[in-house]
Chain A
């Protein structure tokens, strides 16, 4: 077990290294000089000013030198300053990351809490009306664009309840109720896709597990139907679902990036898009790296959890 954890954790290092190189290269392989773009083709700009900007951006020296400077400082939590307002990038990230994590966590919670029971109902009442509704609902769920759903939900609550969530961010530490009220719609809109995936997954694995011998044996021994479903079958059916959740975090991050814009929530996605609009390279690099790291760490946790839930994995 410990060997498995160590091996799996060490595998993260080359991935992290690779993705940091990719992100580093992306900004540099751009057509045109970053500095020229920054100065908006202003040919009158002083060469000295440009040189200072280059130094400030860490664009001097060879590529390996530049990479080393960037990554070694990043390890110390120094991502440079925003070109926009000279605020340290690390401070921007410290403010925005918890917001996105809260959004993703809430969405994941909704997806799992609603998706699993739906999957169980669908599997235990196979080919019934509820099963059919859940299956078609699942296909619709994976087809709705989250940003459109977000707009529809806003429209719905404002028309029916005359309520729209606050457009200025409320910290959960100031007012938890207001914070949750603000997050519920965005979380719901990005959770629907994941919910549908979880539902379909649970249904498929439940059907498989329900056909196993030990389920029949348990029933034959006189264990009640609901006990067999929830105690014996569901537990085993949930194991593969765990891996899906890891990958879904990436989908939720993508969804969060757009939905944060719709609801004006200043998370990482919001920050990234603002940085792109402003051509704020240090912020673009840092937010992208941060999203990749978050995603990789999430998947590491999921893989380790999978090893705990299914001991067969660790003995491979």
Chain B
């Protein structure tokens, strides 16, 4: 639950994103192209593997395990067996099928919420970093305000006020992580703005929009990549939390957080129900954290390949 920071220690990734920009900019073009081959840290590859597996499960899991997530069997609260590898729930629904459906839900929420933050945050960051001055000051004050509330609390309030649906949960999570994007993008833009090619482009008469789209944006793709990786896991974790609180995906539809919520009542009789969905959440988030670790090594070689190291700010 790392998003969200203060009056105002930097957002989780400000340092990393910024560092990534300079490292990226400093890399010769050829090594930029070869960067995918540069996994010095095997943990990044493991993370990528976990995430690819998760996407495959979400996309094709239903074709392999041909049981519907809402299909009801006669036997309820079954422990794992050959017929139901992860058991059945209080309504006799197959847990494996529901976890596969939950994978789709979490990916959808992650993609939409991060998409919202990506578009809104990049816009705010580009405009603030390009125009500077009063526009920048105003936008960044608003961003600071949003950091003054713990992230999940803000998401709970927004989702709660809008009404408990998955769409609203996605909007709430998107709003909550937008400031982090805005701030990191602004930092990256400010750095790129210092390069002579921006000045030349403006001297040649390029409009503000053109400079932003053609020259600034392509040069902030590296920090964006790290941001997206990290905040996808935040979004997935937040969706699980909101659904667990009954503010996200609504039953009877399967979602990991929702499954954990309804399993609470049966934790004594059928602990399986409380274990597997949480395990699914943890494995996916772990995948993102592993991948983030690996990406950081590639994009910021100064940090060295140390498993589990954090650069100074978180």
For chain B residues 118-174, which have a beta carbon within 8 Å of chain A?
141-142, 144-146, 148-153, 156-158, 160-162
Whether B7 is near chain A, meaning CB under 8 Å from some CB there, is yes
Residues of A contacting B158 in the complex (Cβ-Cβ under 8 angstroms) = 26
Residues of A contacting B9 in the complex (Cβ-Cβ under 8 angstroms) = 243, 246-247, 299
Residues of B contacting A155 in the complex (Cβ-Cβ under 8 angstroms) = 267, 271, 274
State whether A15 touches B282 (Cβ < 8 A).
no
State whether A18 touches B240 (Cβ < 8 A).
no
Among A143, A144, A204, A243, the residue within 8 A (CB) of B311 is A204
Residues of A contacting B274 in the complex (Cβ-Cβ under 8 angstroms) = 148, 151-152, 155
State whether A15 touches B245 (Cβ < 8 A).
no
Whether B289 is near chain A, meaning CB under 8 Å from some CB there, is yes
Residues of A contacting B277 in the complex (Cβ-Cβ under 8 angstroms) = 148
Whether A79 is near chain B, meaning CB under 8 Å from some CB there, is no
State whether B148 touches A296 (Cβ < 8 A).
yes
Cβ of B305 to closest chain A Cβ, rounded Å: 12
Residues of A contacting B156 in the complex (Cβ-Cβ under 8 angstroms) = 257, 272-273, 276
Whether A288 is near chain B, meaning CB under 8 Å from some CB there, is yes
For chain A residues 218-273, which have a beta carbon within 8 Å of chain B?
240, 243-244, 246-247, 250-251, 253-255, 257-258, 261-262, 269, 272-273
Cβ of A27 to closest chain B Cβ, rounded Å: 7
Among B146, B153, B160, B312, the residue within 8 A (CB) of A204 is B312
State whether A250 touches B5 (Cβ < 8 A).
yes
State whether B260 touches A251 (Cβ < 8 A).
no
Whether B247 is near chain A, meaning CB under 8 Å from some CB there, is yes
Whether B237 is near chain A, meaning CB under 8 Å from some CB there, is yes
Whether B31 is near chain A, meaning CB under 8 Å from some CB there, is no
**A139-B289, A148-B278, A155-B267 are contacts. A204–B150 as well, Cβ < 8 Å?**
no
Whether B241 is near chain A, meaning CB under 8 Å from some CB there, is yes
Among residues of B, the one whose C-beta sits closest to the C-beta of A15 is B7
Residues of B contacting A269 in the complex (Cβ-Cβ under 8 angstroms) = 153
Among A30, A135, A148, A255, the residue within 8 A (CB) of B1 is A255
**A145-B278, A258-B244, A276-B160 are contacts. A288–B148 as well, Cβ < 8 Å?**
no
Q: How many interface residues does chain B have, given as a range?
A: 35 or more
Among A30, A145, A148, A251, the residue within 8 A (CB) of B150 is A251
Cβ of A306 to closest chain B Cβ, rounded Å: 10
Cβ of A281 to closest chain B Cβ, rounded Å: 9
Residues of B contacting A261 in the complex (Cβ-Cβ under 8 angstroms) = 245
State whether A200 touches B310 (Cβ < 8 A).
yes
Among residues of B, the one whose C-beta sits closest to the C-beta of A243 is B9
Whether B308 is near chain A, meaning CB under 8 Å from some CB there, is yes
**A27-B161, A250-B150 are contacts. A200–B4 as well, Cβ < 8 Å?**
no
Residues of A contacting B225 in the complex (Cβ-Cβ under 8 angstroms) = none
Cβ of B49 to closest chain A Cβ, rounded Å: 15
State whether B145 touches A18 (Cβ < 8 A).
yes
Cβ of B289 to closest chain A Cβ, rounded Å: 5
For chain B residues 74-90, which have a beta carbon within 8 Å of chain A?
none
Complex: how many Å from CA A249 to CA B134? Answer: 32
Whether A19 is near chain B, meaning CB under 8 Å from some CB there, is yes
Residues of A contacting B253 in the complex (Cβ-Cβ under 8 angstroms) = none
Cβ of B184 to closest chain A Cβ, rounded Å: 15
For chain B residues 1-40, which have a beta carbon within 8 Å of chain A?
1-2, 4-9
**A135-B308, A247-B314, A296-B148 are contacts. A254–B161 as well, Cβ < 8 Å?**
no
Cβ of B64 to closest chain A Cβ, rounded Å: 26
Among residues of B, the one whose C-beta sits closest to the C-beta of A250 is B150
Among residues of B, the one whose C-beta sits closest to the C-beta of A240 is B312
Complex: how many Å from CA A201 to CA B9? Answer: 15
Whether B45 is near chain A, meaning CB under 8 Å from some CB there, is no
Among A140, A159, A292, the residue within 8 A (CB) of B148 is A292
State whether A139 touches B290 (Cβ < 8 A).
yes
State whether A148 touches B260 (Cβ < 8 A).
yes
State whether A258 touches B245 (Cβ < 8 A).
yes
Interface string of B263-281 (1 = CB under 8 A from A): 1100110010011011001
Among B157, B260, B286, the residue within 8 A (CB) of A288 is B157
State whether B267 touches A143 (Cβ < 8 A).
no
Complex: how many Å from CA A240 to CA B199? Answer: 37
**A152-B278, A276-B160 are contacts. A142–B289 as well, Cβ < 8 Å?**
yes
Whether A197 is near chain B, meaning CB under 8 Å from some CB there, is yes
State whether B157 touches A26 (Cβ < 8 A).
yes
State whether A201 touches B310 (Cβ < 8 A).
yes
Complex: how many Å from CA A132 to CA B245? Answer: 35
Among B151, B308, B313, the residue within 8 A (CB) of A136 is B308
- With most chain B CB atoms within 10 A of its CB, the pick from A11, A151, A203 is A151
Residues of A contacting B278 in the complex (Cβ-Cβ under 8 angstroms) = 145, 148, 151-152
State whether B314 touches A244 (Cβ < 8 A).
yes
Cβ of B246 to closest chain A Cβ, rounded Å: 8
The residues of B with any CB-CB pair to A shorter than 8 Å are 1-2, 4-9, 43, 141-142, 144-146, 148-153, 156-158, 160-162, 233, 237, 240-241, 244-245, 247, 260, 263-264, 267-268, 271, 274-275, 277-278, 281-282, 285-286, 289-290, 293, 306-314
5 sample A-B contacts, Cβ–Cβ < 8 Å, listed by A number: A11-B7, A145-B285, A247-B4, A258-B244, A272-B157
A-B complex: 7 closest residue pairs judged by Cβ atoms: A135-B308, A148-B278, A254-B152, A276-B160, A250-B150, A18-B145, A143-B286
7 extra interface residue pairs, beta carbon distance < 8 Å, beyond A145-B240, A197-B314, A269-B153: A11-B7, A12-B7, A135-B308, A139-B308, A250-B149, A257-B152, A295-B149
